[in-house]
Amino acid sequence: MKDKRNSILAKNLIDYSVTLKPGEIVYVEIKGKETLELGKEIIRYAAEKGGMPFWFYNDESLLRQFLLTANEEQFRKMAEFHLEMMKRSAAYIGLRGSDNPFDLADIPSKQMEMYQKIFYKPVHLEQRVKRTKWVVLRYPNNAMAQLAETSQEKFEDFYFNVCNLDYAKMSRAMDPLADLMKKTDKVRLVSPGTDLTFSIKGIGVVKCDGTRNIPDGEVYTAPVRESINGTITYNTPSLHEGFVYNNISFTFKNGKIVKATSASFEDKLNKVLDTDEGARYVGEFSLGVNPFVLHPMKDTLFDEKIRGSIHLTPGASYDEAPNGNNSAVHWDLVLIQRKDYGGGEIYFDDKLIRKDGVFTDPKLEQAFSEENLRS
């Protein structure tokens, strides 16, 4: 059963997510032993379609060995090598299923900063994100099931239901929301511990409909860089670079985070925000609309798609929705506004458009229902 579901997912990734064409190189990064079976299906199907797969096995336990002692020159050499491979690739598929998501928890912050600035930013944020057809997904291994606090069998069933939904239908359902966001100037977010305003006028709007992440299900833009004022308190735990942060709260003044608190690792939180100037400004504002993802599991690729959520992201903006913010950081932090998570409202130009996670327009709400999006 799992083999069949892997085959379906591999075909969706090659045919829909990266639309691989004959002769194109697809760079497949495989993280974690349990992702190998899906990796095999992707490599086999890519070759069958006439593509040229290049595969690279990696996980945090391997990366850790390099990060512990590498110096600046070694990071530069690493970046040069991987950047050349990325430049030669038309597409990138990132399979992430490491056995231990906390393997980088004790890497010194100076080493992580060099990794982000010297390697990750030029190779991934600048080259892969901006210049390739790419998609990133997690794989349902036991480590993910533990973070989701459920059995592996139940988690696998949930995972494949979410990942193999009808993304073409989801894309069409997103059109009215994207059109509404394009017409909007002022946004206001209200939730427990949150009262925040900003403008999205003139910034692009992007549908995330299975061509960048699997699972997918968000529509994003970016705030006008200096327009954010007020406070936001996130109610979803965030696993970032080996640490789980809870109840992060930011206070903004003219776009900049002037106060950052957290129930855990507050000192590390502020070190991340001090990575560079852009880390204390926001590069993305997004609405999560996937009806099959309802509760956080400490995995950003899932949590940011939660129906009835938003995420407001410290760090770099994307070229498709640019607000001029440049950073080595891009940290998606999630606020769920459904009733079971404390409720909340979103206003566009002083008009209530979503309350307690439910769109006030019945047609829009129905478009994102489970019934409408089942494949």
Q: What is the DSSP letter of 17?
A: I
The model's confidence at residue 81, banded by pLDDT at 50, 70 and 90, is: very high
Q: What are phi and psi of 11, to 5 degrees?
A: -65, -40
- Indicate the domain borders of the chain: 2-163, 167-373
* Partner residues linked to 231 by β-bridges: 195, 251
**CA neighbor of 309 nearest in space, from 284, 331, 287, 293:** 287
For residues 7 and 34, give the distance between their C-alpha atoms in angstroms, rounded to a whole number.
Answer: 15
| Whole-number average pLDDT of the chain | 93
Using CA atoms, how far apart are residues 306 and 291, in angstroms rounded to an integer? 7
Average the pLDDT over each of 111-115, 145-149, 183-187, 194-198 and give the range with the smallest value. Answer: 145-149
Instruction: Check residue 321 and give its pLDDT.
Output: 95
For residues 184-201, give the mean pLDDT. 98
- Which amino acid, one-letter code, is at 206? V
Six token digits for residue 258: 């002037």
Please state which architecture CATH assigns to domain 2-163.
3-Layer(aba) Sandwich (3.40)
pTM of the model as a whole: 0.77
Per-residue pLDDT band for 375 (boundaries 50, 70, 90) equals: low
Whether the pLDDT of residue 285 is over 90: the answer is yes
For the chain, the straight-line distance linking the first and the last C-alpha, in angstroms and rounded, comes to 17
Region of 349 (left: φ > 0; alpha: ψ -120 to 50; beta: rest) is: left
Choose among 348, 354, 310, 359: nearest CA to 185. 348
Question: Between β-strands 218-221 and 238-240, what pairing exists: parallel, antiparallel or unpaired?
Answer: unpaired
Separation CA 288–CA 193 (nearest Å): 20
pLDDT value, residue 1: 54
In angstroms, rounded to a whole number, what is the distance separating the alpha carbons of residues 265 and 284? 23
Percentage of the chain beyond pLDDT 90 is 74
pLDDT over threshold 70, residue 214: yes
Lowest-confidence pick of 44-58, 148-162, 355-369: 148-162
Residue type for 349, please? D
Q: Residue 100 above 80 pLDDT?
A: yes
Reported as a pLDDT band with limits 50, 70 and 90, residue 152 is confident
**Token pair belonging to 197:** 């305003």
> DSSP secondary-structure letter at 35?
G
User: Side by side, which strands form the sheet with 345-348?
Assistant: 256-261, 249-253, 229-233, 194-199, 186-191, 345-348, 351-355, 358-359
Q: In the prediction, which pLDDT does 297 show? A: 84
Average pLDDT (139-156) is 79
Instruction: State the DSSP code for 320.
Output: T
